[in-house]
Amino acid sequence: MSSGLASINAAVSAVCLALFAVLPLAVLAVRFARPRRMPWWAVFTTTLGLGWGLALASALVNDSPVSGAGHVGALFLGWALALVWLVPWLLVYGAVQWVRHRVAARRA
């Protein structure tokens, strides 16, 4: 039974990490499609809040007596991890917006 629970924990942790990985992309896609419905404060709040929760959930599920206190790090620094993961996606978003505006300027 213990190995079954470990595999379920690993699966839940993998889902949390996958959602964490695509969270900035999804939020910025909504921002790209509907900028008025997703202002910048909502982009940062959503990404940091949900990212923090997903990092903490993954750490709590993976926590074992042998692994130490990984969940404490996620509790205090999960938001920072989400912010660091958002930065490269903001660069991609900025590049896409720059190209979009250049193409629109050439058509006008």
- In whole angstroms, give the CA distance from residue 74 to residue 69: 9
**Contact assessment for residue 12 and residue 63, using Cβ atoms and an 8 Å cutoff:** no
Q: How confident is the model at residue 89, as a pLDDT?
A: 96
Summarised one tens digit per residue, pLDDT across range 15-68 is: 999 999 999 999 999 999 999 999 999 999 999 999 999 988 888 887 666 666
**Contact assessment for residue 55 and residue 32, using Cβ atoms and an 8 Å cutoff:** no
Domain segments of the chain as ranges: 2-107
Q: Which of 25, 92, 85 shows the shortest CA–CA distance to 55?
A: 85
Summarised one tens digit per residue, pLDDT across range 57-104 is: 888 887 666 666 667 777 788 889 999 999 999 999 999 999 999 998
Residue with tokens 């938001």: 79
- In whole angstroms, give the CA distance from residue 90 to residue 92: 5
Q: Give residue 59's identity as a one-letter amino acid code.
A: A
